[in-house]
Amino acid sequence: MNLTAVNIPKLFQTFQNEETWLRFGAGLLKIIVILIIAKILIKIGEMAIHNIFKIRNLSPLAKPPGRREETLSKLLQNILSYVVYFITFMMILSVFGINVQALIAGAGIVGLAVGFGAQNLVKDVISGFFIIFEDQFSVGDHIRVGQFEGNVEAIGLRTTKIKSWTGELHILPNGSITQVTNFSLNNSIAVVDIAIAYGEDIGRAEKVIEDSLQKMPDQYEDLIKAPELLGIQTLGPTEVVLRIVAETRPTKQSGIARAIRKDIKLLLDEHGIKVPPPQLVMYPEGAGKPK
């Protein structure tokens, strides 16, 4: 009781002290200034990051801006915000008289302990950052990672999601991605083999096919240029095989190959050029067995 009675007057005296209010006002002013400077630094940093990517996209060798650039830009802005906010928080604590150096030392020891226990997580995050930064692949690309192949659905700092053409979604830790085959960076090549019967005029068949190939770029926008008839590829038991190659947009070779096969088959039928029918040889039971 007596202790409380003694402390209350001292408390009133503290708040009535002009020096206390001056220190409080100075500390509050410092905090406001620190927060304002932090906001300004973040704005300047975001503008700098935005201008860097803007200048990069204006380069004649740069690809059109896409989701990869947006992802990397947002990532760098978030990192900048975290760093500035952390420094701001430390400076505010120092205003209140808290020993920041001791706090950072303690946090470092805790972070070191957590780092030893989460090495795989750190590896995944670092690998994810370099996947985005080095432009290895982006959302929508068709890639193959080990036994997994499909379209990239999402790229994060920790995992990458790949959806196969049959619908399975594979979620891979970025740290496990050591080798990547990207099918979406360069144009693809469609290879089509056409079989012609031995009794047909090969020269006439080649002329008919070549005339049709020159018109295909107007029919299919995924073709880079007119397909090329290379000539006779193989001589089979019952047919002569002609090979056609076509340069297509990335990952569009399968669809273009199917379209070319259909058009050439209809064209050959229209000109009466026969495709060799499949032949089946049947032997009577027991025929050919040694007596």
pLDDT of residue 264: 92
pLDDT band, residue 159 (cuts 50/70/90): confident
- The CATH number for 19-117, chosen from 3.10.20.30, 3.40.640.10, 1.10.287.1260, 1.20.144.10, is 1.10.287.1260
- For 18, the token pair is 């002009």
Per domain, the residue ranges of the chain are: 19-117, 136-182, 188-270
DSSP-based three-state secondary structure for 145 = strand
Report the candidate in 180, 185, 169 with the shortest Cα–Cα distance to residue 128: 180
pLDDT band, residue 112 (cuts 50/70/90): low
The DSSP secondary structure of 64-105, one letter per residue, reads: PP-HHHHHHHHHHHHHHHHHHHHHHHHHHHHHTT--HHHHHH
Report yes or no: 155 and 131 within 8 Å, Cβ to Cβ.
yes
- The yes-or-no verdict on residue 242 having pLDDT over 90 is yes
pLDDT of residue 1: 44
Q: Average pLDDT, stretch 148-171?
A: 88
- The yes-or-no verdict on residue 80 having pLDDT over 70 is yes
Mean residue pLDDT across the chain? 80
DSSP 8-class letter at 19:
H
- For 16, the token pair is 């009535």
Enclosing H/E stretch for 167: none
- For 180, the token pair is 């990547």
Q: Average pLDDT, stretch 195-221?
A: 90
Record the pTM: 0.57
Q: What one-letter code names the amino acid at 156?
A: G
Q: Average pLDDT, stretch 28-36?
A: 86
Q: Average pLDDT, stretch 255-259?
A: 93
pLDDT of residue 61: 43
pLDDT of residue 263: 92
The 10s digit of each residue's pLDDT in 166-188 is 889 999 998 888 889 988 888 99
Query: What's the fold here for domain 136-182?
Result: SH3 type barrels. (2.30.30)
Q: Average pLDDT, stretch 109-129?
A: 71
Q: Average pLDDT, stretch 141-167?
A: 87
The 10s digit of each residue's pLDDT in 128-150 is 888 877 778 888 889 999 889 99
HSE, side-chain direction, 13 A CA sphere, residue 90: 13
Q: Tell me the C-alpha distance between 16 and 8, whole Å.
A: 12
- The CATH number for 188-270, chosen from 3.40.50.880, 3.40.50.300, 3.40.605.10, 3.30.70.100, is 3.30.70.100
